[in-house]
Chain A
C-alpha cells in the first residue's frame, strides 16, 4: 500500500513539475512565432485555430499586414521548420461496424512543417506527413505531401492574391485542418464512394481578394477527386464569397457569413459499373458568430451527385452541416461542443449524426492537453453503426 501511495505521489509530483515547467517563461514557438519573437497566441485563439490576427496574417501571404517593409525572408530568419505531433490514450467502441475496438495509448501522427516568406509578397507553406508504420501504439499514417503551395500577395491590390500548388482551399469555411476537435467535420468528409472529401488539401490554383469593408472572395480551379486518378482531369471549380460585419475577421470578433459553390466531376469508383467522368455539385452557407468569448460556427451544405458516382438509379441529393459552440473562459482554456449531421436519401441510407464534447488546456502556448468525447451514429443497410470515442492526448508543436 505504501509503495502504491509513493508511486502515485511521485507521479503526481512529476505532473506538477511538468506543469510548473510549462508555466515558466514561455519560449518562442513554431516557425512564424519564432521568426518574430511572438507567442502562438498572437495568431491562434487556441492553437491550431486561428484568431482574427492570424487569419489576416494568413491572407496577407504570411506577412504582418501593414508591416511588409519590415519583413524578413526565410534566409534572414531562424530555420523555418516545425514539427507537430500528438499522442495519448484513445478509446473507441464501434457497434455493428467493421472497425475493431480500440483501447490503447497511441501516437496519432506527425506533421513536418515549413513556412515563411521567400521574398516580399511571396510566401510559402509546406506540410509533409511521413509514413508511419503501425506498430507498438503508433497509428498508421501515409506519407503525404499535405501542402506545398506558394502564395503571391497583393498583385496590384489586396483584391488579387494567387495561391498555387497544393493548399487548403477556401471553400471550407471552418478549416478542417485547424479545427479544435480530433473528431472531423462530417459534412466536409461526406462524399460518394472513394470520392472528393472537402477536408483534404487540393492541388490547383486559387485566386483570392479582400477589401477594407470586410468583403472577400475566393475562386479556385483544382484537381478535385482522387478517384480513378490516372484518368482524372483537373475539372473542379469553386467560388466563395464572405462578408464580415463589425470589427474583426469573424474568427474571434465580428460576425462572418459566407456562401460557397463547388462544381466538379469525378470518375466513379472502380467497383462501380459506369465509366467516364460524372458531375457533382456542392452549395453551402456558413457563419461564424462571436459574442464576447463565445463563438458559434455554422455550416450547411447541400450536395448533388450523379447517380453513376453512387451506382444508383437516380441522382443523389444530400444535405448536412455542423453547429459548433466554443467558449474561451481564459487564454489557456477552450471548451467546445458540436453537432454534426448528414441527411441522405433512402437509396443511400447513410444518415449521420454526431455529438462531440471536448476541451483543450494549454499549460504553454504550444502544447495542449486535450480530452474529447464523441458519439457517432450512421445508418446502414445492416443496422445502425454507432461509435463511442474518447481520447485524452497531448498535442504539441515546436
Chain B
C-alpha cells in the first residue's frame, strides 16, 4: 500500500513539474499576456489632478469642433466602453468617416495611436481629430483662440501649464485624462494572481486556445494584448483593391498595404463592432474571420492561417474575451467652463 501511495504521489509530482515547472523556472515569456503595469507617463507630461480635470472638460467640450456639435466623447462614449456601436463614425455636418473609432480604454499602453499609427504619442493623438475635416473640422489655432476666450479655461491652463491655452497644452491635458481611462483587474488578471475560480472552465480553455491553436497572442501580445504593430487581415480587400490602404498611407511601404494596428483586447467585449472598418459586428464574427485565415490578398499577414476551430473552441475563445472585462472609470459629463 505504501509503495502504491508513493508511486501515485511521485507521479503526480513529476507530472505537475512537467506541466508547470517551466513557468517556475523561466518566467512567462516576452509576449506573455500578463497583468497591466502602472500607466506609462512621459516625463514631459506628468499627471496632476488639475491637468486631468482640465483634460476631462476638453474631452467633453463640443466647442472644440468647428460647429460646436462634436466632442471626443461624441465618438468615444464612456457608457459604451469609451467607443460607440457605429461601424464608422459621424463627424460635423453629418459627415461619415471611413474607420471605426475604437475605444480609448488602455490607449495609454499603446506604442502608437490610431489604426494606422500616424500619431506616435497620446498627446499627438489627442489633437488629431480636432483638425480632421470629417471629425471635428476645426483648426487648432482657432481652438486655442476659442479656449482663451473662455475665462474658466484660461484660468485652468494658467494653473496647470503656467500659460494660456496652446496647441501643445490642449494635447497634454486631454492625454493626461485619457491616461486615467484604463481597465482594472479582470477575471483573467485575478486568475493570473492565483484565483483559479476567477475564470470559467470555458474561459480557461479559451485562454489556452488564445496562446495556442488560435494563434491570437502572436499579435495580441503583452499585458495590453497588442503588439503595437501592423497586420493585414485582408479586411476591405475587394476585387483586387484595398478599400483602405491602412498603414501604407503613412509609411509608403508596400508591405504595409492594407495593414492596421493590432488593437488591445481588454474590455473588448463592450466595444463592438470590430476591426478598422467596424465590419464585424460581434466577437463571434471576428473569430470566424480568423478561423478562415482572413481574406486572401497579396499582402496577407504571414501569421494569418486557417485555424480549423470547432464550434466549442470558438465559444471558448469568446468566453476568454469576456474574461478580459475589467472595471473602467465611470465618468459623467462635467460642467464646462463659460
Contacts and interface: CB of A to CB of B under 8 A. Distances in A.
Interface of A: 3, 6-7, 10-11, 13-14, 17-18, 21-22, 24-30, 33-42, 45, 51-53, 56, 60, 64-67, 70, 72, 76-79, 212, 247-249, 252-254, 292-293, 328, 330-331, 364-367, 396, 398
Interface of B: prevailing SS: loop
Contacts of B96: none
Contact of B305 (A10, A64, A248): A248
Contacts of B32: 36-37
Interface of B: 1, 4-5, 7-8, 11-12, 15-33, 191, 196, 204, 208-209, 211-213, 215, 217-219, 221, 227, 229, 231, 292-294, 296, 298, 300-306, 308, 310, 313
Nearest to B9: A14
Contact of B218 (A3, A18, A60, A64): A64
B306 A248 contact: yes
A55 to B, nearest CB: 9
A292 B308 contact: yes
Contacts of B31: 36-38, 70
Nearest to B301: A66
A14 B10 CA distance: 10
Contacts of A292: 308
B33 A37 contact: yes
Given A249-B305, A293-B308, A21 B196 contact: no
Contacts of A29: 22
A41 B212 contact: yes
Given A25-B191, A53-B305, A78-B25, A13 B8 contact: yes
Nearest to A252: B308
A367 B19 CA distance: 8
A18 B29 contact: no
Contact of A38 (B29, B204, B300, B308): B29
B218 A67 contact: yes
A67 B227 contact: yes
Nearest to A398: B18
Contacts of B310: 330
Nearest to A158: B302
Given A14-B12, A17-B8, A41-B212, A247 B296 contact: yes
A28 B303 contact: no
A252 B215 CA distance: 14
Contact of A21 (B19, B28, B217, B292): B19
